[in-house]
Structure 1
């Protein structure tokens, strides 16, 4: 398996962290993205720590929901407090980055919500820098407007610059945008993670991800551009939705990892 393939834990939400990391090892995937709500449970953090200490797996990133309950408009500091704890966990596990779901805007305009996100995040930036952890914000489907404010790649780059953090580029959310190569060229200097999945035209539920190669996303072209533009990080498979469930997460993840590995090898990554 190509060393730059990573698998996101969201693909197997029914498995605890230990069994999920065991599965990654079984199929040859060397990196994983873990979700913070599970790592905040002592037993699951212990399982992740054990896998890392025994060299079975490297944690490439942690996914953390920031101001979800309450939203950005109503948060009183809880979001920053929780993120401080996750930063310490990332440092403990050797994870180089944490990518954030911002939280919904509440009654705020986009600009107000972006300023509020930056303000709430401010106490965490210095702590993350001291620990050597990069904070990232992802672009996400506009159907997630209840929990996130950054959707197009330019808007997400604008938010990242305002908040003085990096980017997690989710190709599933931006592959249809005009001038994608030019947008990627501008964004990749701040990008700490690139997420990969496919989309089958006609799927309108959310989430609606597919195994790479099963849909219409021109992944070979996009990944060639990403590599040519100098990206040197991981490619994270974020697989979730009805197609993944119907096939079975284990089989879908195995197929996806092999397909992405072969593609990266062919592209000379």
Structure 2
């Protein structure tokens, strides 16, 4: 695959080469001709300065940077304290968006209560992000990963986005089975920070078990087409992990994914 074949709306998450150092991932993606990446604070390290410098020197754009970690529903100052390093990293990376998962609700707390508390506690952090020139958002996690959060559908993430004035990360792996997705795409596409693309084979374990686009059961072409028809104009971010990826090897899995997505975006005239 030549670099000329890489579509400019494709980014690749460094999570897709989980066991590689970030420097090796950047070198490999640059060699493929990929021009943008997404990052997590876990891969940035603490302090993040070395990786930020590496990314800056690579010439790669950063499409998004995300985090998990502490509870976001205790009080607004604590939420700001947790998200401030994420927002500061986005600024240092010249990245337009930063996102978080909700983290789980306390034991025996109803999800509605946790959701309402999250809406109430995000204001200070969102204000700080806006002042910093960063769009702050939330990612919906899989119900199989309840330990990551209680916002486990795209519909819920979009509702949260409206109520708390946040962006939304669309994780196709975690929403492809939802009903009424074309309507959600049409009504909320301007909030979408990035769209994460990977595949899944029905019948396999749900948790951390993704595949190269085109190798599984998800109607990815339909989903991407509906997103484009709705007016989404951001990055499609290749993000996967799991035993099938490890068995194939990062080089081949990422290259095949980039080629699959680039061929379709180019053919559709995007």
Same-fold status (TM-score > 0.5) = yes
Write the mapping of 1:79-158 to structure 2, written as runs, cut at 5 A: 79-107=79-107, 108-158=109-159
1:18 aligns with 2:32: no
Provide the rounded CA distance (Å) in 2 between the counterparts of 1:121 and 1:6: 28
Whole-Å separation in 2 of the counterparts to 1:211 and 1:80: 36
- How far residue 55 of structure 1 moved from its aligned partner, in angstroms, is 5.6
Contact 1:102 1:149 in 2 (8 A): yes
Deviations 1:75-114 (A, max 9, x none): 7854421311221111111111112111101132112111
Gaps of 5+ in 1: none
The residue correspondences of 1:14-93 to structure 2 (distance < 5 A) are 14-42=19-47, 45-52=49-56, 54=57, 56-65=59-68, 68-69=69-70, 71-72=71-72, 77-93=77-93
Partner of 1:6: 11
Moved over 6 A (4+): none
SS of the residue corresponding to residue 194 of structure 1 reads: strand
1: CA distance between counterparts of 2:246 and 2:231? 34
Distance across 2 between alignment mates of 1:80 and 1:72 = 9
CA distance in 2, matches of 1:127, 1:208: 35
Q: C-alpha separation between the residues in 2 aligned to 1:145 and 1:168?
A: 17
State whether residues 77 and 124 of structure 2, in contact with CA within 8 Å, keep that contact through their aligned partners in structure 1: no
TM-score of the two chains, using structure 2 as the length reference: 0.91
Task: Give the superposition deviation at 1:163.
Answer: 2.1
- The answer to whether the 8 A contact 1:239-1:253 is kept is no
What is the TM-score with the length of structure 1 in the denominator? Answer: 0.91
Q: Unaligned regions of 5+ residues in structure 2, if any?
A: 1-5
Partners of 1:115 and 1:162 within 8 A in 2: no
CA distance in 2, matches of 1:249, 1:177: 29
Q: CA RMSD in A?
A: 1.9
Q: CA deviation at 1:142?
A: 0.5
